[in-house]
Amino acid sequence: MNLYTSLPLIARAQRHARRTAIVDGGGSFSYEDLLAASFRVAMALLGGRSDLNEERVAFSLMPGLAWVATQWGIWCAGGIAVPLPYHSARSELEYFMNDSGASTVICDVETSQAISLIAAPRGIRVLLYDHCNAFRQAESANAGSDVTLQRRAMILYTSGTSSRPKGVVTTHANISAQIASLVEAWEWSAEDRTLLCLPLHHVHGIINVVSSALWVGAACRMLPRFEANEVWDRIAEDDLTLFMAVPTIYVKLIAAWDAASEQRRVLLSRECAKLRLMVSGSAALPVSTLERWKEITGHTLLERYGMTEIGMALSNPLRGERLPGSVGKPLPEVDVQLVGEDAKPVAPGSIGEIEVRGPTVFAEYWGEPEVSRIAFRDGWFRTGDTAIVENGSYRILGRTNVDILKTGGHKVSALEIEETLRQHPAIADCAVIGLPDLEWGERVAAAVVLRRDNELTLPSLRTWAKELLAAHKVPSRLIALDALPRNAMGKVAKPSLAALFQTPDGDR
């Protein structure tokens, strides 16, 4: 068998043949096992051809060896990998498969029926991973195309919280740069052991966790889904060194710790303290969550900033002070600037939109040449996120068109208001949006999740908030919910909140 590729991520795996690469529900697999499985997927996809020539290959698989082997097999065959959300709604899968123009989809037995119903009418070839993995060829056979780093490698879809999901195209060069930047900044090594409990259709799980681990020869245990007590068990038993998650996962882990016996709490806290690094991202981390996690584990979570289009751009330091509410400074090989509405860099200490450039930045939006053109300005990618630099560190104020409210002539950060409201003794969680208003432009509206057996009225909230916030930042609309609507990565789906304020439960 010869798995030919010049792609750094896969070529580097050959140096670590006997080391453990992946642990999943099926067992423990070495880098040699992973390369062999990737070879079989590539051979099955090629079917005698020499190159897929950037055909899009979608795949819907549970996190584990099969998922990584499929991604790598697609790349070795010269295809573009299109990871699909596992067990997603039919409409979402249809959209991704239609938009990407996938010629083939690889799935497992659990998802094969749903995938086939979508694929058959469209003439999309369906391959079961089990059949790919059973593919046998002479030991002297070769699998792999002469894939250059400039080739398109992957299409990931944006969360679509504020618009239709867009297909973000990254090249092999982009992916290599994204991984190398994190490996340098967070000092990954072959001795690391990490745990994946994130979905594998977003950059967080794919690049930050799995690919960074496999780049250096580290081991990655992959869970099929997040379950708080299972994650705590793995922290207690698996001798992990790194853990990365989103804020909602840390909140659920805290709740599970609180519900545990005193003896188990002591054990979990002690074992968690042994990890060298714990990271939070993909959504704003409430300071209260950061502080509570430090009380339980001794870890100050490392916050960072990134997005599908750029990988990671900013990070608090691995070594050094991590400022609550801050996402740190630019990562290696990443240039960042803040610009005003006139497209010029803002003065130090002023608010501006984040723009990013460098080798980590994506190539294009799939099939959207005009949208791709508008997304860049003089070589800088316009993120649509607003921030300010304080004490040399970036603080994110929110999405320019979602989290930056304009009320009574003032620009207001929804994230700042949310952080303040979480200090209220009755509020467990909250989200702030702007509702259109003829007099004010937008009214500050708060959707809250109350702590058990608590009540809250708008007048009482306003009285309390006026002690902490400027008058124009105090909410003038209020609704209480059982839970905030969130996407797979824990981000609040704010566009869906506006309609809820029209219900009888609003403004109590």
Per residue in 41-73, pLDDT (tens digit) is 999 999 989 899 999 999 999 999 999 999 999
Q: CA 309 to CA 112: how far, in whole Å?
A: 30
What pLDDT shows up at residue 139? 45
Per residue in 371-404, pLDDT (tens digit) is 999 999 999 999 989 999 998 899 988 877 777 8
Domain-embedded: residue 211: yes
Q: CA 313 to CA 105: how far, in whole Å?
A: 32
Q: Answer yes or no: do 6 and 143 share one domain.
A: yes
pLDDT band at 140 (very low <50, low <70, confident <90, very high): very low
Domain-embedded: residue 50: yes
Per residue in 349-376, pLDDT (tens digit) is 899 999 999 999 999 999 999 999 999 9
Domain boundary among 85, 118, 147: 147
pTM: 0.86
Domain boundary among 300, 333, 365: 300
Q: Answer yes or no: do 141 and 203 share one domain.
A: no
Per residue in 425-447, pLDDT (tens digit) is 999 998 998 888 877 778 899 99
Q: CA 32 to CA 79: how far, in whole Å?
A: 22
Mean pLDDT of the chain: 90
pLDDT band at 470 (very low <50, low <70, confident <90, very high): confident
What pLDDT shows up at residue 1? 45
What pLDDT shows up at residue 2? 52
Tally of structural domains, the chain: 3
Per residue in 275-308, pLDDT (tens digit) is 999 999 988 888 989 999 999 999 999 999 999 9
> Taking a C-beta distance cutoff of 8 angstroms, is the pair 473, 440 a contact?
no
- Average the pLDDT over 10-37 and give the result: 95
For residues 290, 292, 298, 304, the Cα torsion angle rounded to the nearest 10 degrees is: -10
Domain-embedded: residue 246: yes
Q: Answer yes or no: do 102 and 232 share one domain.
A: no
Q: Answer yes or no: do 101 and 15 share one domain.
A: yes
**Residue whose C-alpha is closest to residue 166's, from 174, 156, 180:** 156
Q: What is the sign, positive or negative, of the torsion defined by CA atoms of 205, 158, 351, 396?
A: negative
- Average the pLDDT over 405-417 and give the result: 81
Q: Answer yes or no: do 287 and 422 share one domain.
A: no
Where do we find the tokens 């083939």?
A: 104
Higher pLDDT, 160 or 15: 15
Q: Answer yes or no: do 134 and 230 share one domain.
A: no
470: enclosing H helix or E strand:
none
Domain-embedded: residue 33: yes
What pLDDT shows up at residue 5? 65
493: enclosing H helix or E strand:
none
What pLDDT shows up at residue 138? 41
Q: Answer yes or no: do 21 and 143 share one domain.
A: yes
Kind of pairing between the strands at 376-377 and 380-390 = antiparallel
Secondary structure class of 143 (helix, strand, coil): strand
What pLDDT shows up at residue 299? 97
Q: Answer yes or no: do 45 and 135 share one domain.
A: yes
Q: Answer yes or no: do 121 and 205 share one domain.
A: no
Q: Answer yes or no: do 129 and 7 share one domain.
A: yes
Q: Answer yes or no: do 229 and 137 share one domain.
A: no
Domain-embedded: residue 463: yes
Q: Answer yes or no: do 138 and 202 share one domain.
A: no
User: Of 31-45, 156-170, 473-487, which gets the smallest average pLDDT?
Assistant: 156-170
pLDDT of residue 419 exceeding 90: no
Q: Helices 247-259 and 262-272 sit at what angle, rounded to 10 degrees?
A: 140
329: enclosing H helix or E strand:
strand 329-330
What pLDDT shows up at residue 505? 54
Secondary structure class of 341 (helix, strand, coil): coil
Domain-embedded: residue 230: yes
Per residue in 206-249, pLDDT (tens digit) is 999 999 999 999 999 999 999 999 999 999 999 999 999 999 89
Range of the domain at 440: 404-502
Question: Is 388 buried (19+), middle (13-18) or exposed (0-12) by CB count in 10 A?
Answer: middle
What pLDDT shows up at residue 137? 53
Question: Which residues lie closer than 8 Å to 403 by C-beta, 6 or more apart?
Answer: 386, 397, 413, 414, 415, 432, 494
What pLDDT shows up at residue 3? 53
CATH number at residue 470: 3.30.300.30
What pLDDT shows up at residue 402? 77
Domain-embedded: residue 483: yes
Q: Which long-range contacts (CB under 8 A, 24 or more apart) does 401-406 make?
A: 401/162, 402/161, 402/162, 402/433, 402/494, 402/495, 403/432, 403/494, 405/432, 405/433, 405/434, 405/442, 405/444, 406/434, 406/441, 406/442
pLDDT of residue 4 exceeding 60: no
Domain-embedded: residue 410: yes
The torsion angles phi and psi of 245, rounded to 5 degrees, stand at -160, 180
Domain boundary among 284, 300, 316: 300
Return the number of other C-beta atoms located less than 10 Å from residue 61's C-beta: 22
